[in-house]
Amino acid sequence: MKERTILDQQISAVMQIRQTLDDSVEMAALAEEEGDESVIDEIISELTALDKKAQRQQIEALLSGEADSSDAYLQINAGAGGTEAQDWADMLLRMYMRWCDRKGYKTSALERSDGDEAGIKSVTLKVSGHQAYGWLKTENGVHRLVRISPFDSNAKRHTSFASVSVSPVIDDNIEIEIEDKDIRVDTYRSSGAGGQHVNTTDSAVRMTHIPTGIVAACQSERSQHQNRAHALSLLKAKLYEQEMREREEAAASEHGEKTDIGWGHQIRSYVLHPYQMIKDLRTAIETSDTSGVLDGDIDRFLEAALAEKLNKN
């Protein structure tokens, strides 16, 4: 039923685009006969908006990868730089949370480590919604912020970095086998905001995949058993994402392409001083609407990155 609902929505969207186009063509013909320039201008504006909607629908239709329709794990880690970098990581968290709200996606924090003075050191979100991973998968990388630091009494300009890593939530359609001997499990006490939210037992779980060194942690549940299940799911997601990344790197290498696949490279620059500009370094898409982007309006960057990735494939 879920798959049927999604297909119905996709078909309805295409039919609506077609109907709007047909209506606009008819209106344009009548307006041209009557010489009504104002109506023609209105139709041109509607068709421009319809073109953007059609391009977006095309991208959604092309998100047919093995895991594109899955929910996603989104992890943010502050770079070196103490409070300034931790505040930047918190700003990115807010940006993605606002974007999820716009898309109607649900979010839940599996793990969060707050900064010493402000911001966050790291956070892992589970983003639930149709094609959550498909939309977010191109966000893997380092995000750079340039601004006057609110934590610097001398009001100097600072450059901060934070890394974003996105992995798909693995369902029963994708098989990931992990042997027990390859996992080290550590338990610890969850950190919290205080009061009733602080656990009094070592219920948080950290799993380490020994062959690769990949780590997954969860502290969102009261039960150690539930945290263990979430951590194992996250570990499988990270292993899947690493395998996909290695395959893409190998394919690019065979074709003699220089690749920067992975989340260790810089993908986007957010400059708030001395001018206002956010630029994606992969697609050259840029905007001066910095407040809008940091408030979750990142679709232009996601769509451009997905379109470029799909064209390469």
Q: What is the CATH number of the domain that holds 244?
A: 3.30.160.20
**pLDDT at position 313:** 61
DSSP 48: H
In angstroms, the CA 175 to CA 240 distance is 9
Q: Final residue of a domain: which of 203, 221, 251?
A: 251
Please check whether residue 233 lies inside any domain of the structure.
yes
Q: Are residues 219 and 79 in the same domain?
A: no
In angstroms, the CA 133 to CA 124 distance is 14
Q: Are residues 53 and 186 in the same domain?
A: no
Q: Which amino acid makes up residue 12?
A: S
pLDDT at residue 264 is higher than 70: no
How many domains, in total, are found in the chain? 3
Q: Which amino acid makes up residue 209?
A: H
Indicate the pLDDT class of residue 120, thresholds 50, 70 and 90.
very high
Q: Are residues 17 and 76 in the same domain?
A: no
In angstroms, the CA 190 to CA 231 distance is 14
> Do residues 119 and 151 lie in contact, with contact meaning Cβ atoms separated by under 8 Å?
no
Q: Final residue of a domain: which of 232, 251, 270?
A: 251
Residues 6+ apart with CB under 8 A from 149: 84, 155, 156, 157, 158
Please state which of the ranges 251-255, 277-281, 284-288 shows the lowest mean pLDDT. 251-255
Indicate the pLDDT class of residue 198, thresholds 50, 70 and 90.
very low
- Name beta bridge partners: 269: 144, 279
Q: Are residues 244 and 157 in the same domain?
A: no
Q: Which amino acid makes up residue 143?
A: H
Q: Are residues 115 and 263 in the same domain?
A: yes
The helix (H) or strand (E) run that includes residue 45 is: helix 37-62
Mean model confidence pLDDT for the chain:
86
Residues 6+ apart with CB under 8 A from 116: 82, 83, 86
**pLDDT at position 262:** 35
**pLDDT at position 134:** 93
Q: Is the peptide bond before 274 cis (omega within 30 degrees of 0)?
A: yes
pLDDT at residue 21 is higher than 80: yes
Q: Is 269 left (phi over 0), alpha (psi -120 to 50) or beta?
A: beta
> Do residues 296 and 102 lie in contact, with contact meaning Cβ atoms separated by under 8 Å?
yes
Query: 39 is in which domain, residue-wise?
Result: 2-62
DSSP 137: G
